[in-house]
Amino acid sequence: MDPITLGILALIALTVALMSGIRIAFATAITGFIGLWILRGYVPAASLASTIPQGHLSAYTLLVLPLFIMMGFFAFYAGITRDLYWAARQWVGHLPGGLAIATIFGSAGFAAASGASTASAAVMGRIALPELKKYGYDDKVSTGCVAAGGTLATMIPPSVLMVVYGFIAEESIGALLLAGILPGLLEAFSYSLMLIIRFKINPELGPPITGITWSDRIKSIKGVWGMVVLVILVMGTIYTGIATPTEAAGVGAAGALLLALPGLNFKRFRDAMVETARSTAMIFAIVAGVLIFVHFLGFTGMPAVVSENIVSLDMNPVLVLICILAMYLILGMFLDGIGMLLLTVPIILPTIHELHETTGNELFNPIVFGVLVVRMVEIGLITPPVGLNVYILKGVAPHVKMGDMFKGCGWFVFVDLINVAILIAFPSIILLIPTTMIQ
């Protein structure tokens, strides 16, 4: 059988397997192994399937993942999330939709300590939703804020998806993490601007908070210092070249542990370790399965063929990029973010490299492309039918209908698409910080 035909059939088989409910780690591993068996024979396929995951997963750079995850759990037990939300409430609560805006900025703050979007949505849901309910905020707006605010964790460093992309694309993980700072802040401020406009037009969505004094605001600042310390320890050391991303993650995890010590008992410490191990095992299992499948696709020659065909199209390169991003928007409605990156980036990235070489446009810089792709994956976290953040939030707010939650996310998706257009028009926003980092 022609290798390209085999590759297409394997992609169809994988799609069917995923839609039938098989876990992505098992579906990709089985499909990739069978494809390798057909192409190379059983013994070479078995050898590749056993050595490929071990060779890649033992890479030193991947140690950053469990360390960042651990840092997020310790930051939660240190009470940083609640302190950030309370500080944001004191400073912006008086604005139209103040509590909703405080939820966005609280989520942005927690995103700087946790790279997992679903964890951020779950934590902020427990903290912010009762307060929003207490003041009579509309359920759609409340749940939309928490779900969309959770997506900030995939953009604002430390981001698990950025690390995964850097691992696949073999790009600087430090540069990718720094590249997410300005787009993440743009996202938080644009969400807040949208909320101010909506609440100005329709004040019945929820009242501003009254009675906040400057004394309250000044006192709330003391709850932010822990987050500031973590940001300096992690992103500051990466930016100045003092530490590699892995070393910075280790320092950040240790710093979060020290901050958590006053309220940390054995049970909480054990829970943090168990959840870190569970999350890491899940990610690594997906990576292992997809690596087998991706190596099979490499043997078929599909990535090169796809790249040649796309580049040879008589289309504006920017339009090609928009079409690729639109594909991610659709895939994000059905696939997990990590699995989506692992499956598609090895196929699409050669095209981006080719367009970068032929056009010289910084829009096709792999760092810029990585941020844009992660941005599209973010949108998939809050769009039906498989918006993971919404499903996580349903467990926190069972009284709110799933349909109302997705409706509440609609305005945020609209703002997200505008932000993507801004980043496409001005890719220098993405590259500003990483181009000045000390190597």
Domain that holds residue 170: 3-436
Q: How confident is the model at residue 297 (pLDDT cuts 50, 70, 90)?
A: confident
pLDDT, one tens digit per residue, over 38-74 is 988 999 899 988 888 888 888 888 889 899 989 988 9
Say what the pLDDT of residue 173 is. Answer: 92
H or E segment to which residue 363 belongs: none
pLDDT, one tens digit per residue, over 389-419 is 888 888 888 888 989 999 999 999 999 999 9
Q: How far apart are CA 384 and CA 369, in angstroms?
A: 24
Tell me what the pLDDT averaged over the chain comes to.
89
Is pLDDT of 209 > 80?
Answer: yes
In order, the DSSP letters of 183-208 are: HHHHHHHHHHHHHHHHHHH-GGG-PP
Q: Total domain count for the chain?
A: 1
Q: How confident is the model at residue 269 (pLDDT cuts 50, 70, 90)?
A: very high
Per-residue pLDDT, averaged over 167-179, amounts to 91
Say what the pLDDT of residue 342 is. Answer: 82
Is pLDDT of 21 > 90?
Answer: no
Q: How far apart are CA 299 and CA 28, in angstroms?
A: 15
Is pLDDT of 18 > 90?
Answer: no
Closest to 159 measured CA to CA, from 377, 347, 325:
377
Is pLDDT of 336 > 80?
Answer: no
Closest to 276 measured CA to CA, from 164, 107, 115:
115
Choice among 75-84, 167-176, 202-211, 400-409 with the minimum mean pLDDT = 75-84
Say what the pLDDT of residue 147 is. Answer: 93
Per-residue pLDDT, averaged over 274-290, amounts to 88
Q: How confident is the model at residue 437 (pLDDT cuts 50, 70, 90)?
A: confident
pLDDT, one tens digit per residue, over 358-390 is 888 999 999 999 999 999 988 988 988 778 888
Say what the pLDDT of residue 438 is. Answer: 62
Say what the pLDDT of residue 186 is. Answer: 96
Is pLDDT of 12 > 70?
Answer: yes
Is pLDDT of 95 > 90?
Answer: yes
Say what the pLDDT of residue 195 is. Answer: 96
CA 420 and chain centroid, separation: 15
User: Is the whole-model pTM more than 0.85?
Assistant: yes
Is pLDDT of 424 > 90?
Answer: yes
Closest to 124 measured CA to CA, from 154, 159, 94, 100:
100
C-beta neighbour count of 403 within 10 angstroms: 11
Q: How far apart are CA 366 and CA 179, in angstroms?
A: 11
Is pLDDT of 439 > 70?
Answer: no
Cβ within 8 Å of residue 264, ≥6 positions away: 74, 77, 78, 257
Closest to 327 measured CA to CA, from 314, 341, 313:
341
Token pair 């945020």 is found at 412
In order, the DSSP letters of 119-174 are: HHHHHHHHHHHHHHHHTT--HHHHHHHHHHHHGGGGTSSS-HHHHHHHHHHT--HH
Is pLDDT of 311 > 80?
Answer: no
